[in-house]
Amino acid sequence: PDRAKDGSFSSPKSNLPSPVQQEQAKAETLPDLNAEILYEDWDDIPPSSALEEISEEEAVQIIAEPLLPLQSSTLRDYVDHSETLAKLVHLGVDLSQVEKRQKAGQLLLTLDFEKDIRKILLFLKDVGVEDNQLGPFLTKNPYILAEDLEALETRVAYLKSKKFGKAEIAQMVSRAPYLLLFSVERLDNRLAFFKNELGLSVKKTKDLVIRLPRLLTGKLEPVKENLQVFQIELGFQRNEIQQIMFKTPKILTASKKRLRQTFDYLHNIMGIPHHMLTHFPQVFNSKLLRIRERHMFLTFLGRAQYDPAQPSYISLDQLVSLPDEVFCTEIAKASIQDFEKFLKTL
């Protein structure tokens, strides 16, 4: 604009078409907004300009919050930004294991320690989970942090109604961390299944699941298949199966292939009858390689005698449970060096 003779400014003549001039005229007629009205909803403090200069004292008082990663494949990147994750790590939770579980990492990032997690920790302590086991427990089952507290208390009350003692419940929950995720109906159905399938009394059913509580949380198909293997393929009677499974519950979920191979070697090669296997079913949990090596060594020495009615009888317990040195000196009547030399010839 050119300065007028009176000191004012005037705009040069516009070359815009007349419609644009009309719109420009309309714009000029809009009322000016009072700055005080704009600031009245902002606590009467006008916003600072990005170009406004500030003193050094004001500058050092500005604290920049660390940026939260928008996306990450590991929870470690969030620990410095999340009080909840930091406290869980201090508790002993292994975040590297938690993030391997489906959607568990996302769950932890949505929880507030004081609001969501503390009450679950107090509940677990009341159930009987030891302080030093809380971290490992949540590492295995972080999903319990999203469960309704009342539902958890109802499931514990159900176990108490079935005459499980406080110490027994604590043991079951600690050894099977997913136990309290299942409804009362499911727990009740599981107890009924093992009672009916194995023909056990109520007391023996309780004892069975106390010793192996993951029977209440695992799949039932492997259990059903193993029961059929023992009855149809291996030829055990129902009462023998009942004794075997009650004495050694792990067999209910063992590998079918390993069970078949172990039985074949014990029964068809070593000549162990069904009734002896029933009295010592723990042999099914032993490594087949150890059974084979020791049996072959005893055969080489002429001491492979497993008939209790005959002299120099060797029980299955002695065969598989003793350390090598004790097995050699007390059972094989040989030195450990002799045993090691023999194994090299196999």
pLDDT tens, residue order, the chain (346 aa): 444 444 444 444 444 444 444 444 444 444 444 444 444 444 444 444 444 555 666 555 545 444 444 444 456 656 656 788 888 888 899 988 988 888 888 888 889 999 999 999 999 999 999 999 999 999 999 999 999 999 999 999 999 999 999 999 999 999 999 999 999 999 999 999 999 999 999 999 999 999 999 999 999 999 999 999 999 999 999 999 999 999 999 999 999 999 999 999 999 999 999 999 999 999 999 999 999 999 999 999 999 999 999 999 999 999 999 999 999 999 999 999 999 999 999 8
109: in domain: yes
Residues 165 and 111 occupy one common structural domain: no
Domain limits at 205?
Answer: 161-218
Token pair of 260, please?
Answer: 């078949």
Indicate the residue among 113, 146, 179 that finishes a domain. Answer: 146
Name the DSSP class of 337: H
Question: Are 93 and 132 members of one domain?
Answer: yes
138 shares its domain with 165: no
82, 122: one domain: yes
In this predicted structure, what is the pLDDT of residue 5?
Answer: 44
The pLDDT value given to residue 227: 97
Query: What is the Rg, in whole angstroms, of the alpha carbon atoms belonging to the chain?
Result: 38
The answer for residues whose C-beta is within 8 angstroms of residue 160's C-beta and 6 or more apart is 166, 169
Residue 278 inside a domain? The answer is: no
Contacts of residue 155, Cβ cutoff 8 Å, sequence gap at least 6: 180, 182, 183, 184, 187
HEC secondary structure over 211-268: HCHHHHCCCCHHHHHHHHHHHHHCCCCHHHHHHHHHHCHHHHHCCHHHHHHHHHHHHH
Cα 123 → chain centroid: 18
What is the pLDDT, as a whole number, of residue 55?
61
Written as six digits, the tokens of 107 are 């769950």
- Predicted confidence at residue 327, as pLDDT, reads 96
In a domain, 83, yes or no: yes
| Closest C-alpha to 299, from 325, 331, 326, 329 | 331
Smallest Cα–Cα separation from 204: which of 216, 214, 191? 191
Report residue 112: phi and psi, to 5°: -105, 130
Task: Please state, in angstroms and rounded to a whole number, the distance separating the CA atoms of residues 227 and 211.
Answer: 19
**pTM attached to this predicted model:** 0.72
Q: Which residue has the tokens 């815009």?
A: 16
Residues contacting residue 56 through CB under 8 Å, at least 6 positions apart: none
Tally of domains within the chain: 2
Other residues' Cβ atoms within 10 Å of the Cβ of residue 35: 9
Closest-CA residue to 296 (of 333, 332, 325) = 332
Q: What is the pLDDT of residues 167-193, one digit of tens each?
A: 999 999 999 999 999 999 999 999 999
* Contact indicator for 318, 276 with CB cutoff of 8 Å: no
Within-domain flag for 96: yes
**Phi and psi for 9 in degrees, rounded to 5?**
-105, 140
Q: By the 8 A CB rule, do 270 and 295 touch?
A: yes
Q: Are residues 266 and 279 in contact, defined by beta-carbon separation less than 8 angstroms?
A: no
Give SS3 for 3: strand
- What's the half-sphere exposure (Cβ side, CA atoms, 13 Å) at 114? 1
Is 293 contained in some domain?
no
Whether residues 138 and 198 share a domain: the answer is no
Report yes or no on 141 lying in a domain: yes
Distance CA 121, CA 145 (A): 9
Indicate whether 199 and 142 sit together in one domain. no
DSSP 43: T
Domain boundary among 146, 175, 192: 146
